[in-house]
Amino acid sequence: MKAVILTGGRASKLDPFTATRPAVMINFSGRYILENIVEQLRAAGIVDIVLVVGHERDKVMDHFKGGAEQGVNITYAIQDEPVGIGDAVLHMKEKVLRGEYFMLVYGDTVTSSNIYNSTINSFNSFRLPIASVCLTPATEQYGNIFMDQEMNILRIIEKPQEEGLGNYVLAGAFILPSVYFDLLEKNGCIMEKALEALIEDQGLKASIWEEDWVDVGYPWDILRGNKMIMDSWEHAFISKKAQLMGDVSIQGSVVIADDVTVEKGTLIKGPCSIGPGSFIGHNALIREYTSIGANSEIGFGVELKNCVLFGRSKVGRLSFVGDSVIGEGVYIGSGTMTVNGRLDGGTISVKTNGIDMDTGLHKIGSFIGDGAMVGSGNTLAAGCVIQPEERIPHHFTFPKQGEL
């Protein structure tokens, strides 16, 4: 069975991070989202994988190439214009033989363990088309499904405007017959309509996923996904090529990769991960759910808490970065503070894709795009968004502006 992974959408609600990469190349807990998906598919016995690529596709193709490093065979289908999921799926029509089933995977979902094993087991039991479904607290952002006691899906409503229509949502993993391509063409490349037609034609069974699941649709979902993955860790790992310089204290499930240097006086509290080639300065505090990407530099006395740094970033001495996501190649000057809460205790809003969104969360810091520079001495408001390559000047009080 082939697996088809959709990776080409623009995912503008994930800006500032998807302005410069596809969502599947977001990196937390030491891995890209797509790396995690490919590894789970391989573990489920699927080694023939097609990636439908579009936006910033070179970043996917340059990293994964033919899949040899991941132990799979990867080929590509190119979607030049991001005109919807249905169109992306149709790019696969010539790669699936008539009469075959294929697995369809949405590339922006993350699970705590292997959802594809579960989906395949359901298919082997029913020998009918399968849609993996799960429970989620907020259902209005997803395809709601209705099913009977025999696990037959009866109806699908894509992103309903009304609340409380269904308890289960589509979880982003399907096993579908080749005839589904014909149904897509007949229904204007609209996924939910084609699925409804499949229900009428062959039936569609639900495979219930009962473990943790995150759809990475907004910047703060990166923090949710990172926490979910790290919560599944049971052991620490410290590379023999890492250097811990003297009095370094480590607690919990901490992953430290090759060629990391940690200076004395530092406290690292897991779960957290430090990517290869990174440097942690004296007396730093690395707190729970921190993911530091490769070749990052963390200065003296810095505190990091529940944050994701994609890699090649520098955080200057005596700074605090909490509940934040920091893109690749970001510079944060000394003494910079990310405020991560409101004085009135209310939930924090973030402007994404031009719209102010209430995150429903009480702890949110900053979201900083690739290559941005934040000068020394700045205080960043809770929920602020800094675009890629943006420059925030040093904050100083003397001389006053205009005196020189």
User: Tens digit of pLDDT for each residue in 125-155?
Assistant: 999 999 999 987 665 566 688 888 899 999 8
CA nearest neighbour of 250 among 287, 294, 304, 298? 287
Superfamily for the 2-217 domain: Spore Coat Polysaccharide Biosynthesis Protein SpsA; Chain A (3.90.550.10)
Q: Which CATH superfamily is domain 231-392 in?
A: Hexapeptide repeat proteins (2.160.10.10)
Distances (CA, A) of 194 to 82, 100, 158, 179, 201: 19, 17, 12, 10, 10
The pTM assigned to this predicted structure is 0.93
What pLDDT is recorded for position 400? 72
C-alpha distances out from residue 379 to 168, 348, 389, Å: 41, 16, 19
Q: Where are the domains of the chain?
A: 2-217, 231-392
Nearest to 102 by CA among 179, 190, 203, 208: 179
Phi then psi for 318, rounded to 5 degrees?
60, 30
For all residues of the chain together, what is the average pLDDT?
A: 92
Which residue type does 346 have? G
- Residue-wise pLDDT tens digits, 373-391: 999 999 999 999 999 999 9
Contacts 24+ apart (CB under 8 A), 354-361: 357/218, 359/218, 359/220, 359/383, 361/220
Q: Is 366's pLDDT higher than 60?
A: yes
Task: Grade residue 9 by pLDDT with cuts at 50, 70 and 90.
Answer: confident
Convert the pLDDT of each residue in 235-259 to its tens digit: 999 999 999 998 999 999 999 999 9
